[in-house]
């Protein structure tokens, strides 16, 4: 025999007023009942609870675990992102109660702009920076260099230059080196394929060919003139008999 207590009351997830109350986009306040690695569960009313994914807690802060943001027993304002009455699931969000500030950040953290930033942490790949308005950025190790070639430490603040801003990925890449160095990384553009060139003949061979042709032409002219001269001389040497001399 299987027994249940909740069956004695009206099923909350099937009540029309409940479905209308928790429509997508409606705001609510609930109590945090459980924390997990991927998010937290909030009780909105008896029998109705929902999940807030860790990525939906803040627009600006990268939260690894919900315990960094809240704790069990605290109240939290949320907004309904998705309602699935069949499977009794509510997807909730805390950050969607506010407008996405990255729309505004896009006009502030433009490529090439300078911003005072504090180094929060460092690892082999680079450093996490705290920028104005409480958002975070990243500086790669190769760009984390001061003008005297030394490395800055955690807690120090410097002017960093924005190298890249991505609103969709909520990522800002910065550089300390770019604030004092004029070096720029350039990517060579691919060259268009050119038509194959015809191989030019060797200079020496061309000259020899011209000389040979000129030599043949000159010798031919000389031989012709010599033959004509001999015929003319032979005609003059014959005695005059009144007949006409013809040059054949």
| 125/138 Cα distance (integer angstroms) | 10
Residue ranges of the domains in the chain? 11-97, 102-179
DSSP β-ladder status, 75-84 and 89-93: antiparallel
Q: Tokens 């969000």 correspond to what residue?
A: 93
| Domain 102-179: which CATH number of 3.90.1150.10, 3.10.310.70, 1.10.3980.10, 2.40.50.140 | 2.40.50.140
90 contacts 80 by C-beta, under 8 angstroms = yes
pLDDT, tens digit, 9 for 90 and up, residues 192-213: 444 444 444 444 544 454 455 5
- The pTM of the full predicted model, rounded to 2 decimals, is 0.57
69 contacts 110 by C-beta, under 8 angstroms = no
- Give the pLDDT score at 6: 64
Fold match between domain 11-97 and domain 102-179: yes
Percent of the chain whose pLDDT exceeds 90: 52
pLDDT, tens digit, 9 for 90 and up, residues 140-194: 999 999 999 999 999 999 999 999 999 888 899 999 999 998 875 443 333 444 4
DSSP E strand stretches across 25-156: 27-35, 39-45, 48-53, 75-84, 89-93, 114-122, 126-130, 136-140
| 217/210 Cα distance (integer angstroms) | 11
- Give the pLDDT score at 41: 96
pLDDT, tens digit, 9 for 90 and up, residues 69-120: 999 999 999 999 999 888 888 999 999 999 889 989 999 999 999 999 999 9
pLDDT, tens digit, 9 for 90 and up, residues 3-57: 877 666 655 676 777 888 899 999 999 999 999 999 999 999 888 899 999 999 9
CATH class label, 11-97: mainly beta
């Amino acid at each position: 025999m299987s027994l249940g207590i909740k069956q004695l009351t009206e099923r909350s997830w099937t009540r029309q007023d409940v479905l209308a109350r928790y429509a997508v986009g409606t705001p609510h306040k609930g109590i945090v009942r459980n924390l997990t690695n991927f998010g937290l569960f909030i009780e909105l009313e008896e029998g109705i609870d929902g999940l807030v994914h860790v990525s939906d807690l803040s627009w600006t802060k990268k939260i690894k675990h919900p315990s960094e943001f809240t704790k069990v027993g605290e109240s939290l304002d949320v907004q309904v992102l998705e309602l699935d009455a069949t499977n009794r699931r509510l997807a909730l969000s805390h950050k969607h109660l506010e407008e996405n500030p990255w729309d505004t950040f896009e006009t502030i953290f433009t490529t090439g702009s300078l911003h005072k930033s504090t180094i929060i942490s460092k690892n082999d790949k680079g450093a996490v920076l705290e920028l104005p308005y409480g958002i975070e950025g990243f500086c790669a190790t190769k760009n984390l260099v001061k003008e005297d070639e030394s490395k800055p430490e955690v807690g120090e603040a410097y002017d960093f230059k924005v190298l890249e801003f991505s609103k969709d990925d909520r990522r800002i890449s910065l550089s300390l080196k770019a604030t004092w160095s004029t070096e720029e990384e350039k990517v060579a553009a691919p060259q268009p394929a050119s038509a194959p060139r015809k191989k030019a003949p060797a200079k020496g061979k061309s000259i020899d060919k011209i000389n040979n042709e000129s030599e043949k032409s000159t010798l031919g002219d000389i031989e012709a003139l010599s033959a004509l001269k001999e015929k003319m001389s032979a005609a003059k040497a014959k005695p005059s008999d009144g007949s006409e001399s013809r040059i054949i």
